[in-house]
């Protein structure tokens, strides 16, 4: 008999083992939309959205079931774009070739620990049948943009990828570094409607690799394959939302090319957070 009273209380802790959280972008059930215009949300109130737009008019709280990592505590948030979603980082840099609305976790500075060591970026996405994307265009729904803005080290794309091979357009595609030639497709799956698509993207900043975990609805995440070599150096910021690229636009996509008018498009997000995956720790469910 070896002090069972001391050992037993440890068991529930061990069973509920979680990886340490790096940033938590999950939206508390009680958080109002207006919080996103202030410092009271997990996201930067000023970036990245159309000049003269407010997050409280860009975001919606859709009525969908909570995603895998939101269950009972946090809720889905929908990011929308319309004709006003034109980001202007400065007066002489008006990005009229893009339509953009991307949430940036507020603790991510571009040089913080979220882009060192081993981290897993978690998020879920779902279509909004009332605000369909246009698969003739290329979208980025998630990306890491390097701190010098020279590349995106990992992306989740949708639609017709500019310069990509001709293929089915209604797909979610995780790519490696967009400056690689060719750009690596790490994972792809059809963006089926009415379903949560859950991602856990493991970024090993020491080894220079990327691995994708994936599931739908409430199923636990599962690995989709081994970690692949991918240049993830350069630190930077994680973007969650909609970056819609133009048709045409040549070598200056932000400022040229064609964007149809009177658009009303959205993507529903849930369960955005990053965890520390050193020693291989990856949460497969809540
Ligand atoms: C929500 O979840 C319930 C139970 O899992 C399921 O029956 C229902 O179809 C889901 N609703 C939506 C809108 O996905
Ligand atoms: C959420 O609540 C439901 C009942 O309301 C319960 O069945 C379920 O286990 C809870 N899930 C989590 C992850 O706590
Ligand atoms: C989709 O985009 C193409 C190219 O910009 C445009 O011609 C078309 O009208 C758009 N479709 C819808 C349904 O908006």
Residue 11 has pLDDT above 90, yes or no: no
| Residue 174 near residue 187 (C-beta atoms within 8 A) | yes
Averaged pLDDT score across all residues of the chain: 94
Protein residue with its CA nearest to atom 7 in ligand 3: 260
Residue 70: exposure state from Cβ atoms within 10 A (0-12, 13-18, ≥19): buried
| Residue 56 near residue 37 (C-beta atoms within 8 A) | yes
Tokens of 178: 């967009």
Query: Rounded to an integer, what distance in angstroms lies between the CA atom of residue 90 and that of residue 94?
Result: 7
Ligand 2 mutation pick, 26, 71, 286, max ligand atoms within 8 A of CB: 71
* 42 half-sphere exposure, CB direction, 13 A CA radius: 22
The pLDDT of residue 10 is: 40
The pLDDT of residue 166 is: 86
Residue 86 has pLDDT above 90, yes or no: yes
Chain centroid to Cα 164, Å, comes to: 21
Query: Rounded to an integer, what distance in angstroms lies between the CA atom of residue 15 and that of residue 79?
Result: 35
Residue 206 has pLDDT above 50, yes or no: yes
CATH annotation of 19-249+261-277: 2.60.120.1160
33 CA distance to ligand 3 centroid (A)?
30
Confidence of residue 7 (pLDDT cuts 50, 70, 90): very low
72 CA distance to ligand 2 centroid (A)?
6
Convert the pLDDT of each residue in 102-130 to its tens digit.
Answer: 999 999 999 999 999 999 999 999 999 99
CA distances from 200 to 60, 250, 276 (A): 24, 33, 12
Relative to the alpha carbon of 70, which ligand is closest?
2
Say if strands 77-81 and 228-229 run parallel, antiparallel, or are unpaired: unpaired
Task: Please state, for a pLDDT cut of 90, what percent of the chain lies above it.
Answer: 92
Confidence of residue 9 (pLDDT cuts 50, 70, 90): very low
Chain centroid to Cα 225, Å, comes to: 20
161 CA distance to ligand 2 centroid (A)?
39
| Residue 139 near residue 265 (C-beta atoms within 8 A) | no
| Residue 125 near residue 272 (C-beta atoms within 8 A) | no
Convert the pLDDT of each residue in 33-80 to its tens digit.
Answer: 999 999 999 999 999 999 999 999 999 999 999 999 999 899 999 999
Q: Which residues line ligand 1 (CB under 6 A)?
A: 64-65
- CB of 136 closer than 6 A to ligand 3? yes
Convert the pLDDT of each residue in 265-285 to its tens digit.
Answer: 999 999 999 999 999 999 999
Ligand 3 mutation pick, 136, 159, 244, 247, max ligand atoms within 8 A of CB: 136
Cis peptide before 7 (omega within 30 of 0): no
Q: Which atom of ligand 1 is nearest to the CA of 195?
A: 14
Residues in Cβ contact with 44 at an 8 Å cutoff, skipping those fewer than 6 apart: 103, 104, 105, 106
Domain positions in the chain are 19-249+261-277
39 CA distance to ligand 2 centroid (A)?
30
Distance between start and end Cα atoms, the chain:
34
Convert the pLDDT of each residue in 170-181 to its tens digit.
Answer: 999 999 999 999
Q: Which atom of ligand 3 is nearest to the CA of 137?
A: 2
- CB of 169 closer than 6 A to ligand 3? no
Tokens of 171: 């797909």
Q: Which residues pair with 97 in a beta bridge?
A: none
């Amino acid at each position: 008999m070896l002090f069972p009273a001391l050992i037993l209380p440890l068991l529930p802790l061990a069973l509920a083992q979680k990886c340490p959280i790096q940033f938590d972008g999950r939206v508390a059930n009680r958080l109002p939309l207006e919080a996103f215009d202030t410092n009271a949300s997990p996201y930067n109130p000023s970036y990245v959205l159309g000049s003269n737009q407010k997050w409280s008019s860009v975001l919606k709280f859709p009525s969908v079931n909570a995603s895998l990592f939101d269950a009972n505590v946090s809720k889905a948030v929908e990011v929308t774009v319309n004709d006003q979603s034109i980001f202007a980082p400065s007066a002489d840099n008006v990005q009229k070739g893009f339509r953009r609305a991307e949430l940036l976790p507020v603790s991510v500075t571009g040089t913080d620990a979220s882009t060192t060591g081993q981290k897993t970026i978690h998020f879920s996405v779902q279509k909004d049948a009332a605000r369909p994307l246009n698969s003739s265009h290329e979208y980025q729904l998630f990306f890491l943009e390097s701190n010098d803005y020279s590349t995106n080290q990992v992306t989740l794309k949708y639609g017709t990828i500019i310069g990509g091979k001709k293929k089915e357009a209604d797909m979610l595609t995780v790519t490696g570094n967009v400056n690689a030639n060719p750009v690596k497709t790490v994972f792809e799956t059809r963006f089926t409607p009415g379903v949560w698509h859950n991602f856990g993207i493991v970024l090993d900043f020491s080894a220079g690799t990327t691995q994708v975990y994936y599931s739908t609805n409430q199923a636990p995440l599962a690995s989709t394959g081994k970690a692949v070599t991918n240049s993830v150096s350069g630190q930077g910021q994680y973007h969650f939302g909609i970056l819609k690229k133009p048709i045409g636009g040549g070598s200056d996509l932000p400022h040229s090319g064609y964007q149809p008018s009177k658009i009303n498009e959205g993507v529903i997000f849930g369960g955005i957070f990053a965890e520390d995956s050193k020693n291989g720790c990856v949460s497969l469910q809540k």
